[in-house]
Chains A and B, each alone.
Chain A
Amino acid sequence: MKRTYEEINAKIQQGDAVVMTAEEAIKLAESKGIEKAAKEVDIVTTGTFGAMCSSGAFINFGHSEPPIRMKRVWLNGVPAYAGIAAVDAYIGATEEREDYGQPYGGAHVIEDLVAGKAVHLRATAAGTDCYPRKDIDTYISLRTVNQAYMYNPRNIYQNYGVATNSSERALFTYMGKLLPHYGNMTYSSAGQLSPLLKDPHLRTIGIGTRIFMGGGIGYVAWEGTQYKTTPRELNGVPVGSARSLALIGDLRGMSPEFVQALSFTGYGISLGIGIGVPIPILDEDIMRTAVLRDDQIFAPVLDYAIQSRGRKPIAEVSYAQLRSGTVELFGKKVQTSSLSSYYKARIIADRLKRMIEEKEFTLTRPVEQLPRERMQRALDVCSEEDVL
Chain B
Amino acid sequence: MSKKKINLYFRPEQVNEAITYVLVKEYDLKFNILRADVEEKGGRLLLEVEGRPSQISNGIAYLQSIGVGVKELNEYVEKDLSRCTNCGMCVSICPADAIEMDRQTWEVRFDQSKCIACGLCVSSCPPQAMRLKV
Contact between chains at A337 and B92 (CB < 8 Å): yes
Residues in A with CB closer than 8 Å to B91 are: 325, 335-337
Partner of A265, one of B83, B103, B124: B124
Partner of B87, one of A184, A265, A341, A346: A341
B101 proximal to A (CB < 8 A): yes
For A263, A270, A343, the residue with the greatest tally of chain B CB atoms inside 10 Å of its CB is A343
A176 CA to B85 CA, complexed, in Å:
15
Contact between chains at A342 and B90 (CB < 8 Å): no
Contact between chains at B92 and A346 (CB < 8 Å): no
Residues in B with CB closer than 8 Å to A346 are: 106
| 1/0 contact string of A211-227 vs chain B (CB within 8 Å) | 00000000000000000
Residues in A with CB closer than 8 Å to B38 are: none
Contact between chains at B106 and A179 (CB < 8 Å): no
Please judge, given known A-B contacts A337-B93, A338-B88, whether A176 and B105 are in contact too, CB under 8 Å: no
Closest to B128 in A: A263
Residues of chain A from 153 to 196 with CB closer than 8 A to chain B in the complex: 176-177, 179, 183-186
CB distance from B12 to the nearest CB of A (A): 28
A77 proximal to B (CB < 8 A): no
B20 proximal to A (CB < 8 A): no
B107 proximal to A (CB < 8 A): yes
A272 proximal to B (CB < 8 A): yes
A326 CA to B109 CA, complexed, in Å:
17
Contact between chains at A272 and B90 (CB < 8 Å): no
Partner of A260, one of B85, B103, B124: B85
Partner of A338, one of B89, B105, B107, B127: B89
CB distance from A334 to the nearest CB of B (A): 8
Contact between chains at A337 and B88 (CB < 8 Å): yes
Residues in B with CB closer than 8 Å to A337 are: 87-93
CB distance from A45 to the nearest CB of B (A): 17
A261 proximal to B (CB < 8 A): yes
Please judge, given known A-B contacts A51-B126, A176-B126, A261-B127, whether A272 and B93 are in contact too, CB under 8 Å: no
Label chain A's interface by main secondary structure. Answer: strand
Contact between chains at B87 and A260 (CB < 8 Å): no
Contact between chains at A338 and B87 (CB < 8 Å): yes
B55 proximal to A (CB < 8 A): no
Residues in A with CB closer than 8 Å to B103 are: 323, 325
Closest to B101 in A: A325
CB distance from A161 to the nearest CB of B (A): 16
Residues in B with CB closer than 8 Å to A183 are: 92
Please judge, given known A-B contacts A103-B128, A186-B92, whether A265 and B85 are in contact too, CB under 8 Å: no
| 1/0 contact string of B63-90 vs chain A (CB within 8 Å) | 0000000000000000000010111111
Contact between chains at A339 and B126 (CB < 8 Å): yes
Please judge, given known A-B contacts A177-B124, A262-B127, whether A336 and B92 are in contact too, CB under 8 Å: yes
Partner of A335, one of B92, B106, B107: B92
A50 CA to B89 CA, complexed, in Å:
12
Interface residues of chain B, those whose CB is within 8 Å of chain A, are 83, 85-93, 101, 103, 105-107, 120, 123-124, 126-128
Top 4 closest A-B pairs, CB basis? A184-B92, A343-B86, A335-B92, A262-B126
Interface residues of chain A, those whose CB is within 8 Å of chain B, are 49-51, 103, 176-177, 179, 183-186, 260-265, 270, 272, 323, 325, 335-344, 346
Task: Show 18 A/B contacts (Cβ-Cβ < 8 Å), sorted by A.
Answer: A49-B87, A177-B124, A183-B92, A260-B83, A262-B127, A264-B126, A272-B126, A323-B103, A335-B92, A336-B92, A337-B87, A337-B89, A337-B90, A339-B87, A339-B126, A341-B86, A342-B88, A343-B85
